Structure 1
Amino acid sequence: MATQATLRAPAVALETVIVEIRALLGDRVSTTTATREQHGHDESWHHPAMPDAVCFVHGTAEVAAIVKACNTHRVPVIAYGVGTSIEGQIIAEQGGICIDLSQMNAIRAVRPEDMDATVEAGITRGQLNTYLRDTGLFFSVDPGADATLGGMASTRASGTNTVRYGTIRENVLSMTVVMPDGEVVRTGARARKSAAGYDLTHLLIGAEGTLGIITELTVRLHGLPEAMSAATVCFEDVAGAIDAVIASIQYGIPMARIELLDSLSMYAVNRHGGLDHPEKPTLFLEFHGTAAAVAEQAESMDALCREFGGTGFRWATLEEERSALWVARHSAAYAAKQLRPGMEFHATDICVPISRLAGSIEAAQADVAELGLTAPLFGHVGDGNFHLVVVVDRDNPDELAALDTLNERLITRAQAADGTCTGEHGIGLGKRRYLEAEHGAGLNVMRAIKAALDPNGIMNPGKLL
């Protein structure tokens, strides 16, 4: 198998591939610096690196032809959606061909009776839900960014709705995938369960484009609830908020969303959006169901939160009020960046068993204070997942060293608690060194799968493994 150090294609091989692709796509192949720069970075902390060419594809057959040519000439190939990944998954460290799937955004079929839809991989969740608006159905996975479904599947995305509706893993029934040799494979059927052979769908979900390129997905849809209610409630400390979350899960209150923002995050959100929330640890809650069920759930959660010191409930039932609450939550990362204008941010995303969440958060905040960093905390606490958005001066070696120390402590502590180094952002470039500690001998199995499916090492080289 080609190694990371030797994979970068010779110029003659690259030129040959570009000529072959131009014959297929014409002016939908770009080698301009501006286009390559646009496709050489994502939303991550990692330094950008440009591909050698960008291809704007319109169908699975075109993707297959490009991948086959790249495999023949040993040229790296990277799939690109809209560039919202957080761990450098699309950065072309070794150059190669970038396949931009954003124009593959067709909706092939919506089947209300089966509550599923088949879509091309370049459609974003926003585009799909806009289309579904009049059907009474919606696609539930909401990672915050308006990501493509192919990208979401590739990074095993989740988000604010996970506590009720599951991650992307639970919401994909089957996929069409172009394998490293250019062969097109359908990974399953629309049946809600199957015992027929290896589960290729879930092997490829979360593979970050290292085993194949997803071009179509069949996804689960959910019925729009009759009623929705959102709320915020603040606490004197994070421990009280987490205790309320744990109790709500143990009592079986069917929450749709449970999000935590610490006091610094609330300060940043207020400052960024001109809001007036109390600047204390705050839970953002949402309930879905019938009007009666939502009212009952909200009352139960209100009473439960008060047991743990929750105060200042703010309820929102109108759509515009609920949207305003969640805009505040989704803007938290960029609000954090404004705490130090001109600086950059690095977002962490560990996940632990819910019983270990309070201790993990308290230890993380103690580390931040000890290291003198600016790092608001927020997360999907109903799943045991939280983020620190560390805002640092990239030109300050002391701050970079402190960031490395913080990240190492966070991940080591999470793994020791039987958690994971990444709850939703994925591995990409940033967390490769933590996989061995997390998976042990399982990492050798992953390497064997990679070698078997991609013996020439062309698929998104250097990522994940």
Structure 2
Amino acid sequence: MDMIRNDARKRPDAATLATLTQALKDLLGARVSTAQAVCEQHANTLTWVENQAPDIVVFAESTEEVSQVVKLCAQHDVPVIPFGTGTSFEGHTNAPYGGVSIDTSRMNAVIAVHAEDLDCVVQPGITRKALNEYLRDMGLFFPIDPGADASLGGMVGTRASGTNAVRYGTMKDNVLALTVVMPNGDIVKTSRRAKKSSAGYDLTRLMVGSEGTLGIITEITLKLHGIPEAISGGICPFPSIAAACEAVIITIQSGIPVARIELIDEMQVRAINLYSKTTLEERPQLFLEFHGSEESVKEQAARFGEIAEEFGGGPFAWTTQAEERTRLWQARHDAYWAAMALRPGAKGISTDVCVPISRLAECVEATQHDIAEAGLMAPIVGHVGDGNFHVLPLVDMENAEEIAKAKRFVERLVERALEMEGTCTGEHGVGQMKMKYLESEHGAEALAVMRAIKHALDPQNIMNPGKIVSW
């Protein structure tokens, strides 16, 4: 894919890098690496976006260390790119101008849990699964589940969403406060633990979704929830994508408090059956989950079954057995790898859009038509309770014609979403690959405001340059 480059920045020269590397080693010792393999692992690896490796990787262990590293980079005018687990799809971790990748995976502690206030303070390197394992015995959980076992810092940086968003919201709804290392190395706390505040600019929301372009997140205060008394979940086949989407729309409009509602198209069902050894019917399927009391989850499941029947769906097979639900959702979470196995050797172009839920059925159907017309292999999954769905074209990177078709398909997908008053990305973020759509989505004036913020906070343009907005 074409990279968006920033002419206002050049790669640091060899002498600068040598001086900076020595200064970093004096600070962190063996936790500094310039090995090519390590650097390449800290750039894009999951999709067809070109791998643009940093020059240096450092493994930080505290806010103070991150601050010192950033100060050194600012002193030498060298880019800084934050890194969590590397699960992002849009080139967020790439270093188009070289620089230093700050790996926060060792900053993975739970600093505090305030069970009575339903919040916790964590370091950015902890993953969502590790956090929920830590919280389980307290009867608490953190609900945002993007599918991948991403780091919480990366989830904040990309304003992640996921399977539970229809009930619990996205990262922007679940972050109370942050500690951020700014481009000059200053350490800023964006807010306090209070559930609401009217004191000053909302710096927390400014940093959520900023993708490392304004600062590096080193501590996160998160909202927590009590583990539900009862959970029911199940699967429901439908005769068509349109029927499944219409059932979703009516379910949401009826006020049924569904926790998760996921769409899987026929091709993705086939992939899941092969990869996870399931025996689902090769028809569009909805995966659902309901949270509440024993009686309420039964009532919600029964009501959904009635709605599904109205659209030719069913039978809706559901259960409250934890083992069966876990097996079902593990198959859903493995959907990416299952899809990749459909075409070994191909590259996956994971992309997503989000539209108003009333336009969902129309958008997904039109997308399926585009896939067939282009002759692509491209499974669809979606967090459709909030109008968000993902497409994964599997592309032979040796076939120029196929690459061109895939590019046109992605562009048409985004154009359609914007025509429907949707967004170019519901949860993947902008990174490098979706920068070109921001003006169409937000307008030149809004983009100028974003650029002014970037210039004001990062005048050297060292924080993850070449992402979100051009300099």
- The residue type equivalent to 1:461 in the other structure is P
Identify unmatched segments of 5+ residues in structure 2: none
- The residue type equivalent to 1:454 in the other structure is D
Query: Secondary structure of the residue that 1:312 maps to in structure 2?
Result: coil
| Alignment partners' CA distance in 2, 1:357 and 1:182 | 44
Query: Secondary structure of the residue that 1:315 maps to in structure 2?
Result: strand
Tell whether 2:372 aligns with 1:369. Answer: yes
Name which of structure 1's ranges 163-172 and 28-37 shifts more when overlaid on structure 2. 28-37
Find 1:331's aligned residue among 331, 334, 345: 334
- The residue type equivalent to 2:452 in the other structure is A
- The residue type equivalent to 1:74 in the other structure is D
Deviations 1:286-340 (A, max 9, x none): 0000101111111111111111111132212211100111111111122111221
In structure 1, what is the equivalent of residue 169 of structure 2? 166
Deviations 1:185-227 (A, max 9, x none): 0000111111111100011111100000000000000000000
| Alignment partners' CA distance in 2, 1:335 and 1:125 | 22
Deviations 1:70-127 (A, max 9, x none): 1111101100001111111001121101100000011110011000000111111111
Tell whether 2:448 aligns with 1:444. Answer: yes
| Alignment partners' CA distance in 2, 1:40 and 1:405 | 25
| Alignment partners' CA distance in 2, 1:292 and 1:223 | 18
In structure 2, what is the equivalent of residue 80 of structure 1? 83
Tell whether 2:81 aligns with 1:101. Answer: no
Deviation at 1:10, TM superposition (A): 2.2
1:228-247 counterparts in 2 under 5 A?
228-247=231-250
TM-score normalised to structure 1 length: 0.98
Find 1:12's aligned residue among 12, 15, 19: 15
Query: Secondary structure of the residue that 2:278 maps to in structure 1?
Result: coil
Find 1:458's aligned residue among 452, 456, 462: 462
**Given that residues 9 and 97 in structure 2 are in contact (C-alpha distance below 8 angstroms), is that contact kept between their aligned partners in structure 1?**
no
Deviation at 1:3, TM superposition (A): 4.9
| Alignment partners' CA distance in 1, 2:236 and 2:344 | 29
| Alignment partners' CA distance in 2, 1:31 and 1:345 | 29
| Alignment partners' CA distance in 2, 1:126 and 1:323 | 13
Query: Secondary structure of the residue that 1:283 maps to in structure 2?
Result: strand
Deviation at 1:34, TM superposition (A): 2.1
- The residue type equivalent to 2:150 in the other structure is A
Name which of structure 1's ranges 223-232 and 305-314 shifts more when overlaid on structure 2. 305-314
- The residue type equivalent to 1:309 in the other structure is G
| Alignment partners' CA distance in 1, 2:6 and 2:87 | 27
Name which of structure 1's ranges 329-338 and 116-125 shifts more when overlaid on structure 2. 329-338
| Alignment partners' CA distance in 2, 1:332 and 1:6 | 38
In structure 2, what is the equivalent of residue 354 of structure 1? 357
In structure 2, what is the equivalent of residue 21 of structure 1? 24
Shift of the 315–277 alpha-carbon distance from structure 1 to 2, 3 Å rule, reads same
Tell whether 2:325 aligns with 1:297. Answer: no
Deviation at 1:429, TM superposition (A): 1.2
Query: Secondary structure of the residue that 2:268 maps to in structure 1?
Result: helix
Query: Secondary structure of the residue that 2:116 maps to in structure 1?
Result: coil
Name which of structure 1's ranges 326-335 and 388-397 shifts more when overlaid on structure 2. 326-335
Find 2:389's aligned residue among 383, 386, 396: 386
| Alignment partners' CA distance in 2, 1:4 and 1:60 | 31
| Alignment partners' CA distance in 2, 1:176 and 1:6 | 27
Tell me the percent identity: 55
Name which of structure 1's ranges 36-45 and 87-96 shifts more when overlaid on structure 2. 36-45
In structure 2, what is the equivalent of residue 68 of structure 1? 71
Deviations 1:228-259 (A, max 9, x none): 01010011011111111111111110000000
**Given that residues 7 and 74 in structure 1 are in contact (C-alpha distance below 8 angstroms), is that contact kept between their aligned partners in structure 2?**
no
- The residue type equivalent to 1:443 in the other structure is L
- The residue type equivalent to 1:160 in the other structure is T
Deviation at 1:399, TM superposition (A): 0.6
In structure 1, what is the equivalent of residue 401 of structure 2? 398
Query: Secondary structure of the residue that 1:386 maps to in structure 2?
Result: strand
Deviation at 1:44, TM superposition (A): 2.8
Query: Secondary structure of the residue that 2:122 maps to in structure 1?
Result: strand
1:104-143 counterparts in 2 under 5 A?
104-143=107-146
**Given that residues 176 and 216 in structure 1 are in contact (C-alpha distance below 8 angstroms), is that contact kept between their aligned partners in structure 2?**
yes
Query: Secondary structure of the residue that 1:350 maps to in structure 2?
Result: strand
Shift of the 3–315 alpha-carbon distance from structure 1 to 2, 3 Å rule, reads closer
In structure 2, what is the equivalent of residue 306 of structure 1? 309
Deviations 1:114-171 (A, max 9, x none): 0000011111111111110100000111001111110000001000000011101101
- The residue type equivalent to 2:451 in the other structure is R
**Given that residues 7 and 76 in structure 1 are in contact (C-alpha distance below 8 angstroms), is that contact kept between their aligned partners in structure 2?**
no
| Alignment partners' CA distance in 1, 2:377 and 2:141 | 37
Deviations 1:338-364 (A, max 9, x none): 221211110110000000111101110
In structure 2, what is the equivalent of residue 41 of structure 1? 44
| Alignment partners' CA distance in 1, 2:69 and 2:351 | 35
**Given that residues 229 and 287 in structure 1 are in contact (C-alpha distance below 8 angstroms), is that contact kept between their aligned partners in structure 2?**
yes
Query: Secondary structure of the residue that 1:311 maps to in structure 2?
Result: coil
**Given that residues 45 and 87 in structure 1 are in contact (C-alpha distance below 8 angstroms), is that contact kept between their aligned partners in structure 2?**
no
TM-score normalised to structure 2 length: 0.97
In structure 1, what is the equivalent of residue 223 of structure 2? 220
Query: Secondary structure of the residue that 2:263 maps to in structure 1?
Result: strand
| Alignment partners' CA distance in 2, 1:183 and 1:193 | 25
In structure 1, what is the equivalent of residue 277 of structure 2? 274
Query: How many aligned positions are there?
Result: 464
- The residue type equivalent to 2:223 in the other structure is R
**Given that residues 264 and 382 in structure 2 are in contact (C-alpha distance below 8 angstroms), is that contact kept between their aligned partners in structure 1?**
yes
Query: Secondary structure of the residue that 1:242 maps to in structure 2?
Result: helix
Find 1:341's aligned residue among 340, 344, 349: 344
Tell whether 2:73 aligns with 1:59. Answer: no
| Alignment partners' CA distance in 2, 1:397 and 1:5 | 31
Name which of structure 1's ranges 338-347 and 72-81 shifts more when overlaid on structure 2. 338-347
**Given that residues 7 and 457 in structure 1 are in contact (C-alpha distance below 8 angstroms), is that contact kept between their aligned partners in structure 2?**
no
Query: Secondary structure of the residue that 2:231 maps to in structure 1?
Result: strand
Identify unmatched segments of 5+ residues in structure 1: none
| Alignment partners' CA distance in 1, 2:308 and 2:9 | 57
CA RMSD of superposed structures (Å): 1.1
